[in-house]
Chain A
Amino acid sequence: MNHAAALPAEEHFETSTGLNTFKLGFWVFLGSETLFFGSLIATYMVYKGASVTPPYPSQILNIPLTSISTFVLLMSSLAMVLALAGVQRGNRAQTLTWLLATAALGSLFLGFQAFEFTEFYHKGLTLQTNLFGSTFFILTGFHGAHVTVGVIWLLMLWVQALRGRLGAERALTVEIAGLYWHFVDIVWIAIFTLIYLLE
């Protein structure tokens, strides 16, 4: 562990818990999101192998391509924590660079997803084709929508940083956005394993 440049992670706030209510509330929100994605993953798992018309997952899922997009999303999480480290230190250049890198990597992930969806469509898989199509597009589509929200959020933060309105005193704002971004990353970790790799 490198704690050489360690920074305070937890402050005391004038609340009954001594914690920032915004951050606590956001963790509650993320908890509710786990139930949301849990229900979508459960639906996919229940109907897995129940499709009676092709294309089936083994015929259509592109593991090498999705491995690359998974790597891209993982690296975006790394960029996000580096952006947070930058804003905590009041380093504007580092903040700007890594916030933009995170948004760019998130956009690249969305590009991979758009390519995959288009390819599946041309191979005959739509929401209405079979149970695999319905559950797959609903699950990955909602995840993609979350990533899209995250990219927009990051770009808004980047614009604020560009205008000099995102100093160290607003590190919590970036930390909250980071929590959301890492959450969509861990959801994808589960999706990649359960939907793409497990047969």
Chain B
Amino acid sequence: MSTNPAAASAAHEIEHDVHTHPGWKTYVVIGAILTVITAVEVAVFYIPAMRPVLTPILLALSAAKFIIVVMFYMHLKFDSRLFSSVFVTPLILAIAVVISLVILFKVTPLYYPQ
């Protein structure tokens, strides 16, 4: 909301184009989903039979939680794509840095400092 009359007027002009934020019921449902995913993460961690697939499952569940929070609680699903761009671009870069360094130092120990 803006107190600027010009901005308020412009906002009125594009009244039919504005996106929407979800209501409180959606927020509560999202909160419940996040809680369930966290519980599943911890449960999977303690199940010995899940050990072989623990890493991909935990990464997938964590990514799901991350995306849900960003999309619904941070409203990127409903806001301008420019907001998404300025956030997701460095996020991809950060993930690439993590993966590159892990590969460099862990997967190819040839490069690990002796």
Contacts and interface: CB of A to CB of B under 8 A. Distances in A.
Interface of A: 1-14, 17, 19-20, 23-24, 27-28, 30-32, 34-35, 37-39, 41-42, 45-46, 48, 63-64, 67, 70-71, 74-75, 77-78, 80-82, 85, 88, 168-172, 175, 178-179, 182-183, 185-186, 189-190, 192-194, 197-199
Contact of A12 (B7, B73, B78, B102): B7
A81 B41 CA distance: 24
A24 to B, nearest CB: 7
B104 to A, nearest CB: 8
A12 B65 CA distance: 30
A12 B11 contact: yes
Nearest to B102: A45
Contacts of A7: 20-21
A194 B18 CA distance: 38
A11 B1 contact: yes
14 contacts: A2-B22, A5-B24, A10-B18, A12-B10, A20-B2, A28-B86, A37-B94, A42-B98, A46-B105, A63-B45, A74-B31, A77-B73, A183-B74, A197-B58
Contacts of B7: 11-14
Interface in B1-49: 1-4, 6-7, 10-11, 13-14, 18-31, 34-35, 38, 41-42, 45
Contacts of A197: 41-42, 45, 54, 58
B44 to A, nearest CB: 8
B87 A182 contact: no
Range, interface on chain B: 35 or more
Nearest to A81: B27
B98 A8 contact: no
A190 B27 contact: no
A178 B4 CA distance: 22
A6 B23 contact: yes
| Residue from B6, B21, B34, B79 having most chain A Cβ neighbours under 10 A | B21
Contacts of B3: 169
A136 to B, nearest CB: 16
B78 A1 contact: no
B106 A10 contact: no
Interface in B85-114: 86-87, 89-91, 93-95, 97-98, 101-102, 105-106
Contact of B62 (A5, A81, A189): A189
A14 B9 CA distance: 10
A42 B100 CA distance: 9
Contact of A193 (B2, B25, B29, B59): B59
A120 B71 CA distance: 35
